[in-house]
């Protein structure tokens, strides 16, 4: 069994006892949280953009740092008052695959739903100049992200698919990996994040010593999305770099309002935030992270359902529970918004 598959089973079985043994959530002051990623990643910036939009409505959406996709996926099931998490689409595919043969995983993913598709995340492979292709990672010291992160999962599969046997795999985060690479303690590290990411933009990287390794392998391109990091995206990167990418997705949970007060409040929160994202989409594209420009609201990963609480918030007549007047929109609802709303309404009859 690969390191990737072993880790997935460990994660789910370790958390499942808590999940399946828990009863109704005790009454408490209601709050809303979104699980994102590390402090220099794109997930946390996207989360802050959504939080700022929610703040205009007079509500609070707490942006919570995390290890990344695997933790975020589990978080919308296991964590109190955690209605949203940003997850890589390849994580969804792996979990769907494993759930067919493992009932514990099937039960763990049963209530997780799509809120919105987001953007493509590029697989950054920063390495010393002597590493010119992914095959050159053989025998090298390579950081593959912290356990429970999407980077860990993607990097593990990446190396498995190419049958590359690295000399040493380090499970550390991107900030620690960058420091060790610059200090000569490792040879390369993976980082799955939407470009431009702050870590690469705000770190002084010597272009004579380090570069982004081009990835144009047909096998990887059959599994992932062929993509490119344009020239000049980062100060050390003068030429365009072919890479592969995965899609980021905003996940939520299928709350059942009839179950209890907590489910009712959480469903309302999901509906409110979904409505604000849809109707504030033009603002997100205008003033949020550049990756909002690449979001296609119709690009929902196949095999995953949109939450019914999200659907409620997309009805044209829905009014979010704002405690102060929202700023007037500077532009009409975009064609993308309308297409997404129409697609959902065709299913639910709104």
CB-CB contact of 344 with 307 (8 Å):
no
pLDDT-derived band at 284, boundaries 50, 70, 90: very high
H runs (alpha helix) in 165-307: 174-182, 198-202, 218-223, 261-279, 281-287
pLDDT-derived band at 97, boundaries 50, 70, 90 = confident
pTM: predicted TM-score of the whole model, two decimal places: 0.78
pLDDT at 23 over 60: no
Among the ranges given (48-57, 93-102, 249-258), the one the predictor scored with the smallest mean pLDDT: 93-102
* pLDDT above 50 (res 26): no
CA distance 205 to 227: 22
Question: Predicted confidence band at 120 (pLDDT cuts at 50, 70, 90)?
Answer: very high
**Cα–Cα dist 24/4, whole Å:** 33
> Residue 169 in 3-state DSSP?
strand
Distance CA 193, CA 200 (A): 10
- With H, G, I as helix, E, B as strand and everything else as coil, classify residue 111: coil
Instruction: Using CA atoms of 348, 271, 317, 334 in order, give the dihedral in degrees to the nearest 10.
Output: -90
Average pLDDT, the chain: 86
Across residues 17-42, what is the average pLDDT?
64
Instruction: Inform me whether the pLDDT recorded for 56 exceeds 90.
Output: yes
**Domain regions of the chain by residue span:** 3-120+248-348, 122-246
Q: How far apart are CA 46 and CA 284, in angstroms?
A: 9
Choose between 342 and 45: higher pLDDT. 45
Query: pLDDT confidence of 334, banded at 50, 70, 90?
Result: low
| The domain defined by 3-120+248-348 carries CATH number 3.40.190.10 | yes
Answer whether CATH 1.10.3720.10 is correct for domain 122-246: no
- Assess contact for 79 and 19: CB atoms under 8 A: no
Distance between CA 189 and CA 251 in Å, rounded?
A: 27
CA distances 96 to 8, 118, 187, 254, Å, are: 12, 19, 34, 17
What kind and span of H or E run contains 34?
strand 33-35
Do 3-120+248-348 and 122-246 have matching folds? yes
Structure tokens at 127: 């390495």
For residue 9, give every residue at least 6 positions away whose Cβ sits within 8 Å of its Cβ, in sequence order, or none. 98, 102, 105
- Averaged pLDDT, 205-233: 93
> Could you give the percent of the chain with pLDDT greater than 70?
84
Residue range 267-292: average pLDDT?
95
């Amino acid at each position: 069994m690969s390191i990737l598959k072993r880790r997935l089973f460990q994660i789910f079985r370790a958390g499942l006892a808590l999940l399946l043994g828990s009863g109704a959530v005790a009454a408490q002051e209601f709050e809303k949280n979104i699980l994102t990623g590390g402090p220099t990643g794109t997930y946390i910036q996207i989360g802050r953009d959504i939080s700022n939009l929610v703040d205009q409505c007079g509500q609070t959406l707490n942006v919570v740092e995390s290890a990344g996709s695997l933790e975020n996926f589990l978080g919308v099931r296991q964590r109190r008052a955690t209605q949203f998490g940003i997850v890589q689409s390849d994580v969804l595919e792996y979990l769907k695959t494993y759930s067919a043969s493992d009932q514990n995983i099937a039960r763990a993913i049963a209530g997780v739903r799509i809120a919105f598709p987001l953007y493509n995340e590029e697989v950054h492979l920063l390495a010393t100049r002597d590493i010119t292709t992914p095959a050159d990672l053989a025998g090298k010291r390579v950081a593959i992200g912290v356990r429970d992160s999407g980077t860990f999962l993607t990097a593990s599969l990446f190396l498995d698919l190419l049958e590359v046997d690295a000399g040493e795999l380090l499970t550390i985060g991107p900030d620690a990996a960058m420091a060790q690479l610059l200090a000569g303690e490792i040879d390369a590290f993976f980082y799955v994040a939407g470009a431009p990411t702050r870590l690469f933009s705000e770190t002084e990287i010597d272009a004579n010593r380090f570069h982004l390794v081009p990835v144009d392998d047909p096998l990887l391109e059959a599994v992932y999305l062929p993509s490119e990091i344009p020239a000049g995206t980062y100060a050390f990167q003068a030429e365009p770099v072919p890479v592969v990418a995965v899609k980021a997705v905003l996940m939520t949970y299928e709350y059942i309002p009839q179950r209890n007060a907590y489910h009712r409040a959480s469903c309302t929160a999901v509906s409110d935030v979904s409505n604000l994202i849809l109707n504030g989409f033009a603002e997100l594209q205008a003033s949020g992270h550049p990756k909002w420009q690449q979001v296609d609201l119709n690009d929902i990963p196949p095999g995953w359902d949109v939450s019914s609480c999200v659907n409620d918030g997309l009805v044209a007549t829905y009014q979010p529970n704002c405690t102060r007047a929202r700023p007037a929109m500077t532009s009409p609802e975009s064609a993308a918004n309308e297409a997404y709303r129409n697609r959902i309404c065709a299913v639910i009859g709104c």
